[in-house]
Structure 1
Amino acid sequence: MEVQCREVSLASGCQAFCDMGRGIPVVLLHGISSGARSWVPLMHQSAGVRWLAWDAPGYGESSALAEPHPSARDYALRLAAWLEALALERVVLIGHSLGALIASAYARDFPDRVSGLLLADPAQGYRHADSDKRDAVYRSRWTQLAAQGHAAYAAARAPRLLRENARVEDIARVQAGMHRLEVSGFTQASWMLANDALEDYASRTSVPTRVLCGDEDRITPPSGARALAERLGVAYRDIPCAGHISYIDAPAAFAAAVADFMATLSPSQEKSDL
């Protein structure tokens, strides 16, 4: 089965996504430097699942948000409109890195629509840091992209997002995603990272939740992910031989972790899209 990449028109603009498989709908939210196509290796790992990976607002062909300084909730509202357009009433939600912040906001505001929440290599946000730190985080990525250009930025940044001695094809996949970044969308996402906080959302939802992290993650290290899981009172699982984008470094192990989590959800929590 092939991955289909398509678009839907929403009141807030175009929403692009990739879609593959049939079964329980599992929605994939990528991180700040990535896109929908980064999930393709994972999509080929499991049967009985309908994988749906979006290009976040301002990424790929997806229209940017109208709010110049968006919160995770602004992204979550776009997510809600997209899932409604696809007539998906209940999903398993996987947020990677910055996508974990958006996923947490959606789970807090729409708990009845989420069967389970996986926070993978989670970026926790800097809302509670001092103003100098927040400003530094906000300007640390999009300014480099604007100054260096896509090729130089991708060449310098991509290897750090994977494990040591990552496969050449995996580095190339991450670089390809970076070549598709739009400075405007990247800037909005950077603002959200600097000025919002995952825990403010995830601590206020009753949705079954688990935290995953690559055991070689240099961006959001396992120690921070484990501590987050402890504070939330949820289970934690390492993804072996994986860096920050753990689902690219180790798609089979990541898929196994997803399957293990889904097996803990009761039939009433899951809803198939057959």
Structure 2
Amino acid sequence: MSEPGIHHQTFWSQIADLPHVLEFPVIDGIRTRVLRIGEGRPDENRQTIVMMAGTSGHIEAYTHNIRALAAKYRIVAYDYPGHGYSTLVAGGTLEIADYARHLFALLDHYGLDRPHLCGESLGGWIALKVAREHPERFASLILSAPGGRMIADDRLNKTQSVSTDAVADPTWENVKARLNVVIHDADHISDELIAIRKAVYSRPGFAASMKAIGALRTPEIRRRNAVTDDDYAAQKLPALLVWTDHEPSGDPETGRHLAELMPHGRFLLVEDAAHWPQWENPDLFNGAVLRFLEGMTA
């Protein structure tokens, strides 16, 4: 039997031999699943990377990145309100202000001083908004296929039907189809990732929570929360924007344009990938992130 490739290594195999804490503190009234890893020696005073997943996502979206980044940085990864294994939302809407308030409460809870924000999709959307308003609270941005722009309905709705099917009927096949929208090569979708997402979608109350999460797809709500070119152009922090050649929200030139809008922006294109560049080519992603962060302190 051959050894599985990087895409099929499990979350547990990545962290099992490393000191870590997986805990559920109450943050902003939300029982929040948080992974802390990479503390290092007490005399190291490591900088922190806060890792933020995408819509309906969870910590495991960074399965293939945490170990590499934790070798040099303290990692704090968490599930948003209504997401993963954090407290679900019974009604209403989840908008960027809600995610931002929870993020700032998390920073205060752990006493995090100017962490780097590593946000994928929704995580990048949140990062762009909070960093524009409060650049003094953060050190840099790592934006992995960031979301939040107003885009054509056909692009915005590309994932809608498979997402609806997967949440309403979280079978193995439906969940894999949902993941195949964000991961270009279906062979790179691990059994563990399907199993975790299936378990999350099967949580009692998740369907209602997904309605609150999905509010950002509603045109009126999305418009008032949207990321604009001005949000990119006003960024004061160093930023690495990672895009792909099969990104559902825009072609590579779109990503390059967004990176060039930022005064201190850098661009990385990951090929043969869709919406999860950090998963689809982790070696390229991890190396680029480490060089970017090391370059800031050189």
Q: TM-score, normalised to structure 1's length?
A: 0.82
Matches of 1:204 and 1:68, distance apart in 2: 31
Question: 1:5-154, aligned counterparts within 5 Å?
Answer: 5-22=22-39, 23-46=46-69, 47-64=71-88, 68-126=92-150, 140=161, 143-154=164-175
Q: Residue 18 of structure 1 aligns to which amino acid in structure 2? A: L
Q: Residue 36 of structure 2 aligns to which amino acid in structure 1? A: D
Q: Residue 148 of structure 2 aligns to which amino acid in structure 1? A: Q
Q: Is the 8 A contact 2:135 2:236 kept in 1?
A: yes
Given the alignment, which residue of 152, 173, 191 partners 1:172?
Answer: 191
Percent identity of paired positions between Structure 1 and Structure 2: 23
Larger radius of gyration: 2
CA 1:67–1:104 in 2, change beyond 3 Å: closer, same or farther?
farther
Matched residue SS, 1:212: strand
Matches of 1:226 and 1:204, distance apart in 2: 16
Matches of 1:171 and 1:222, distance apart in 2: 26
Deviation by residue 1:151-202 (Cα, 9 ceiling, x = unmatched): 34312222232233643xx333442342113223332222124413123644
Q: Please state if 1:155 is matched with 2:185.
A: no
Deviation by residue 1:27-65 (Cα, 9 ceiling, x = unmatched): 111011421122122111131111111111111232246
Gap regions ≥5 residues in structure 2:
1-17, 40-45
RMSD, aligned CA: 2.9
Q: RCO (CA 8 Å, sep 6+): is it higher in 1 or 2?
A: 1
Matches of 2:252 and 2:183, distance apart in 1: 14
1:191 maps to what in 2?
215
Matched residue SS, 2:33: strand
CA 1:54–1:202 in 2, change beyond 3 Å: closer, same or farther?
farther
Given the alignment, which residue of 265, 273, 276 partners 1:245?
Answer: 276
Gap regions ≥5 residues in structure 1:
268-274
CA 1:107–1:185 in 2, change beyond 3 Å: closer, same or farther?
farther
CA 1:201–1:184 in 2, change beyond 3 Å: closer, same or farther?
farther
1:264 maps to what in 2?
295
Q: TM-score, normalised to structure 2's length?
A: 0.76
Aligned residue pairs total 262
Which segment drifts farther, 5-14 or 112-121? 5-14
Q: Residue 267 of structure 2 aligns to which amino acid in structure 1? A: Y
